[in-house]
Amino acid sequence: MCSSPSTSPEPRIAPYSVEFFELQLRFAKRVAELSGTPFRETVGSHTNLYVRLAMGQFFDASDPEWQQYVEGLLGASDQAAWTHRVHLQRLRFHSGPVPARAEGCFSYEAIGERCVRLHFHTDVSKAALTRETCSDRLRELASLFAYLKASSPDGMKVVGASWLYNLHCYRRLFPGRYLASLRPIEHPYQRMPLWGQFLRRDRTVRPEAARCFLAGLARAKSLLELSRCFPLNVQTTTAPATWFYDHLSL
């Protein structure tokens, strides 16, 4: 079982919207309808809600707090609004990965003695992936990996997993060998690297992406068709940190 959430030392930039929770709940309901699996199960297995509600990084159906949330959800007349209220009540808790090091829009978390997972987060006040900000992002990556190189043993690995690797404005920041090693994976329904593609940087939902997604859900006749409703897939790789050191001239 995951440990209890700790109080976050950092201020939260903004809560997620009701619409963001609505997208996930609608998807879980369609999974339940097409698979015959109870909705109380698919809301855990096919959404990112457990993490977003700050209950832990890895889903645990036996978690008493999750069970309490699900019971409330099943009895709610507006399930997205109910979920949003729970989210607001739990904003004081940290959700998602705990970074070991952060530089600007980038951070990494340790996932072993010789492996880190790379993360990207944006500042709500400005666009982070434009031609004009490319040099800023490269400086942040250089600072982040300079610290990793100086503080870590040889043989470090870097894990990346995100929908952002589909975008040229993000891809241009990374080593060519790293990009060549990326592969699409089965949708990680419980993880933010899949659901983040529906959000603006202020955590509101992209209207057109949401409309297309919900229309696809309504038309889908199978679980495979449901999986194809996501505009972009998640691409992932595990690569040597030396590729970044070389790329960033460290």
* Res 9: pLDDT: 34
Mean predicted confidence (pLDDT) in 192-208:
93
pLDDT in tens, 2-15: 233 333 333 445 79
Q: Examine the pLDDT at 194 and tell me if it is beyond 90.
A: yes
Task: Identify residue 108 by its one-letter amino acid code.
Answer: Y
What is the rounded distance in angstroms from the CA atom of residue 10 to the CA atom of residue 16? Answer: 16
Mean predicted confidence (pLDDT) in 216-245:
97
Buried b (16+ CB within 10 A) or exposed e, 174-202: bbeebbebbeeeebebbbbbbbbbbbebe
Mean pLDDT, all residues of the chain: 91
What is the rounded distance in angstroms from the CA atom of residue 91 to the CA atom of residue 13? Answer: 10
> Which residues, in sequence order, are CB contacts of 235 under 8 Å at separation 6+?
160, 161, 162, 163, 165, 166, 182, 183, 184, 185
Mean predicted confidence (pLDDT) in 82-94:
93
- Confidence category of residue 94, pLDDT binned at 50, 70, 90: confident
pTM (2 d.p.) = 0.88
Task: Assess contact for 240 and 149: CB atoms under 8 A.
Answer: no
% of the chain exceeding 90 in pLDDT:
82
Q: Examine the pLDDT at 33 and tell me if it is beyond 80.
A: yes
Domain boundaries, the chain: 18-95+202-227, 101-185+235-247
pLDDT in tens, 95-138: 878 889 999 999 999 998 899 999 998 765 567 888 888 999 99
